Amino acid sequence: MDPLDQLLAERACERVILDFVRRLDLGEPATVAELFTEDGTWEWPEGERLVEGRDALRTYFGSRPADRLSRRMMANVLVTVDSPTTATATSYFATYRVDGHTGGMTPARAPVQVGNYEDTFRRVGDTWLLASRTLHLPFGGPTPRQ
């Protein structure tokens, strides 16, 4: 691949990774599904969860509790472009989250999750989308209530 095309593909995939957490934390969680291919998957092997297809993803992410406050910190995003239409990535995250939020500032707590995502991307037309996302969670616990 031409170095400029590779750089643009890497940046487009990084943008999807960051947009995913922005939509969960600050946007409309169900719209996360738009970042996946029609046959995209989200998997959490340790939780034995597998969600397949954009409609199922929309339902899954849209079922997030309305009173949940969360912020995810993303780091160490490494995208590898495998071809003009495929790429993979690894990224690390920490999730701060409480349920029962009614407004205002919440006292700081330790993150409820620290882990990494393993992603595959597919270029559809001019757009890079998640074909699969696998969540690996070596550190986790229940979501506290405020």
Amino acid identity, residue 81? V
DSSP assignment, residue 16?
H
**What's residue 46's pLDDT?**
84
Supply the CATH number for residue 130's domain: 3.10.450.50
Q: How many domains does the chain have?
A: 1
pLDDT along the chain (146 residues), means of 10: 96 98 95 98 91 98 95 97 98 97 93 98 98 96 91
Q: Is 48 helix (H, G, I), strand (E, B) or coil?
A: coil
List Cα–Cα distances, 93 to 64, 112, 145, in angstroms. Answer: 19, 11, 21
pTM of the predicted model as reported, rounded to 2 decimal places: 0.94
Tokens 């495929």 belong to which residue? 86
Angle at the Cα of 34 from the Cα atoms of 28 and 40, rounded to 5 degrees:
125
Residue 82 maps to a domain: yes
**What's residue 48's pLDDT?**
86
Question: CA 53, CA 42: separation in Å to the nearest integer?
Answer: 9
Domain span at residue 46 reads: 3-140
**What's residue 47's pLDDT?**
75
Residue 145 maps to a domain: no
Burial class, 130, CB count within 10 angstroms (exposed 0-12 / middle 13-18 / buried 19+): buried
